[in-house]
Structure 1
């Protein structure tokens, strides 16, 4: 049985390096080779990387990368495991027809801990090679490589949400996009001591990762963020377009300690100069005072009619800091997808919302996580998991569900009762309806959490 003491608190650099250098999955390599395709890793500092980057950009409808952008990407992508699928018969043989990238990151889970997780990104397949099993081979290959590396969880943010459920991923943290009418909103929130000041982009580039590192474990769903993302937010990447439009601010408390920072841009309304639009690129606040001070500053800017912000949580305090909540139009969408690979390690790393005892019968079409697991949670919210043997029974009602459904509950933001009402959770044959209902209620309390999960970036 896995215990919290022998689960690493986070990913070690030696593990990250070994994962980057590891071979492609042999089963997927053979499957693609049978279709005349070559599946291989790509060295970020090698000759194949520019072609890989161009193919990945094309897959997301982005423009062709300049030599300067390729060089900047090389410099900032050394942390990633980069893989491509090549067609030797294609006119441009050194440009892959499919791409994928991954790295070992740290996912914050309920209770303030982190767990090593495989972050998957840059998944593209050229339109010329669709419906040939390429995406399946790549994604299953990355999941098997993740399991082989001993990583308990995989995660990703998605452009096409229907694609990933077939591989066991499920949305575990939603994202809220806000559009706020500033004049109608009217600030009624706290007005903390301290001060907000403009700072150079280079300075905010230094501050944001420090502040994020201090708080990322407190919000389930957050991850450790690579430096290339901070360059993007701050506009300090030398190849960044329109970086000069970005403005940076910081909040320092009454003692002079910097506790928050934000980057935003203003778009002028040429037909009415009093109705500009602010886009918040990133806001990080270590304290409640920093949160209130930064948002108040943004909502009270002169000549601004609307403020836009994405990747906010579903329980933002900001809603209770404005006089008219209807001034905020909020759009919710799926964002952080999670895929549990090692059920025991994943569940034992997080904390739970209530004490309880339940059995989950997990079905995994890929065979990575299937089995019956007994979860016992004590009064402190710590769980112990034991995989039940063949034919072994307990006095707990068994809840049958897929790995995607269990993954959806992992960060505490999705109620198992909701999944049960949607027909995504079943009882064993012969279990009384009353016992099943009681088991679902218990499981919902146990697997829930008191705050909504959030991820503040796309990756």
Structure 2
């Protein structure tokens, strides 16, 4: 699988509604902002698109260094038409997009390469001109040609990406735990916790996260900028240091570090206040519960807030009073896009022995076709056996809200639904009840459900 970017920027053109645009694909070169003016303008456009402040010199330096270290592929769209007086200059992109390489954990010691997409913006005055579709098509085509089985993103607006074949694949919960009476557990917490030096935790965190990532289905590898965030050295959202961030480390029974937490105190009344978790990583659920006990038992703390809890959280079930655990919001974290069903489905572990024929509908063409998944032998076998029958909607390149079930197929679904099914975030029967999965009969539905079910729910704590 080749991931080597072109040595020189790539440039193409795009026309829509009488407007002409230039599209460029490039990477951050050596040196600072002066040597990378195009990347500087790209970064300014991203901040503008997400309503952030104008990047400072330090924020720009850090952003460029982070993208260079990650091997980020940047895409920009520029207007090629004359710019009216006082409008943003032609050097500022009207649309941005980027991607980089990662690994997605699948469980049972397995992982698969993942192409991560982020910083997608289109200036409102240039919307509905096909710019996002063009950027997405170009980027996914590059990923497919490079041999990536999957692409992934996190979405600020959930309605955007289904039409490009992305399906919600992992979910998190934003929770609050009442700490007025401290944390009382049904079973005693294991190990011990100590307050820690932030800089030391930043050095220790990558190794602890790597152990968490290796054993947690749905987890994605992190880039270097995470360790600046958890130490308070630099918050890339606020573009500033956070000296109020504190850290603690959890140690197992042998005294080895196996978890850490980064948090800040938010005064609400007098000396009392709320703890907001910045990052909480434990190699095991028990180490995470131990860190929660530490947070809830700190003096002057009335509640602890965390934005990335598991949907089925062992902490809640371990509490004597689970009513002290409040779910404020449930949201989708990672969206997956299957680019190569043979590679993606072969890499995935299975706990059931079945043979199923799937018809996959993909309006962009990458995954479209009839596939057989056979786990009845010693090794999983996935094979593309042919094209599926085409409809008028297919020929027009439209997504199909209701898919047809071809003769000989056990089940049929759109590629976005396959992305949701891939890690076990949803049951096949739930998709069927929602009208998103067509099956031959009840036996076929049971086979698909048994085949795609997973022992644990997928969990990702790394937005990007």
- TM-score, with length taken from structure 1: 0.88
Aligned to 1:160, what secondary structure does the other structure show? coil
SS of the aligned residue for 2:367 comes to: coil
* Alignment map for 1:34-53 (pairs within 5 Å): 35-45=19-29, 46-53=36-43
Match of 1:260 in 2: 259
Question: 1: CA distance between counterparts of 2:406 and 2:17?
Answer: 46
Aligned residue for 1:457, secondary structure, equals: coil
Alignment of 1:400-439 (within 5 A): 400-427=412-439, 431=440, 436-439=441-444
- Answer with 397-406 or 115-124: which moved more: 397-406
1:146 maps to which residue?
143
Counterpart position of 1:250? 249
CA distance in 2, matches of 1:303, 1:169: 44
| Cα pair distance change 1:184/1:323, threshold 3 Å | farther
Residue 303 of structure 1 deviates from its aligned partner by 0.8
- Alpha-carbon separation, structure 2, partners of 1:25 and 1:354: 48
Indicate conservation of the 8 Å contact 2:353/2:376, yes or no. yes
**By how many angstroms is 1:31 displaced?**
5.5
Determine which of 446, 455, 458 is the counterpart of 2:460.
455
Q: CA deviation at 1:415?
A: 0.8
What corresponds to 1:82 in structure 2? 74
* Distance in 2 of aligned mates of 1:181 and 1:238: 27
Matches of 1:100 and 1:93 in 2, distance apart? 17
- Residues 41-98 of structure 1: per-residue CA shift (max 9 Å, x gap): 2432322111110100111111110111101111111121111101133341111000
How far 1:159 sits from its partner (Å)? 0.1
Tell me by how many angstroms 1:389 deviates.
Answer: 3.2
**What per-residue deviation string (whole Å, max 9, x for no partner) do you get for residues 358-391 of structure 1?**
11101100111100001111377x5211111359
Quick one: distance in 1 between partners of 2:143 and 2:100?
10
Query: Match for residue 310 of structure 1?
Result: 307
2: CA distance between counterparts of 1:260 and 1:32?
Answer: 52
Does 2:55 correspond to 1:65? yes
From the superposition, tell whether residues 419 and 391 of structure 1 become closer, same or farther in structure 2 (CA, over 3 Å). Answer: closer
Answer yes or no: is the 8 Å Cα contact 1:184–1:327 preserved in 2. Answer: no
Contact 1:185 1:323 in 2 (8 A): no
Which residue of 1 is the match for residue 161 of structure 2? 164
CA distance in 2, matches of 1:312, 1:214: 18
Say which SS state the counterpart of residue 315 (structure 1) adopts. Answer: coil
CA distance 1:438–1:238, change in 2 (3 Å): closer
Question: 1:399 maps to which residue?
Answer: 411
Give the drift of 1:184: 5.5
5+ long unaligned stretches in structure 2: 30-35, 390-404
After superposition, the Cα gap between the structure-2 partners of 1:236 and 1:447, relative to the gap in structure 1 and judged at 3 Å, is same
- Alpha-carbon separation, structure 1, partners of 2:17 and 2:144: 22
Aligned counterparts of 1:58 and 1:232: Cα–Cα separation in 2:
22
**Partner in structure 1 of residue 289 of structure 2:** 292
1:225 to 222, 226, 231: 222
TM-score using structure 2 length:
0.87
Whether the 8 Å contact between 1:205 and 1:236 is mirrored in structure 2 is no
Q: Alpha carbons of 1:390 and 1:308: their partners in 2 closer, same or farther (altered >3 Å)?
A: closer
Which structure shows the bigger proportion of residues in helix conformation?
Answer: 1
Q: How far is 1:112 from its partner?
A: 2.8
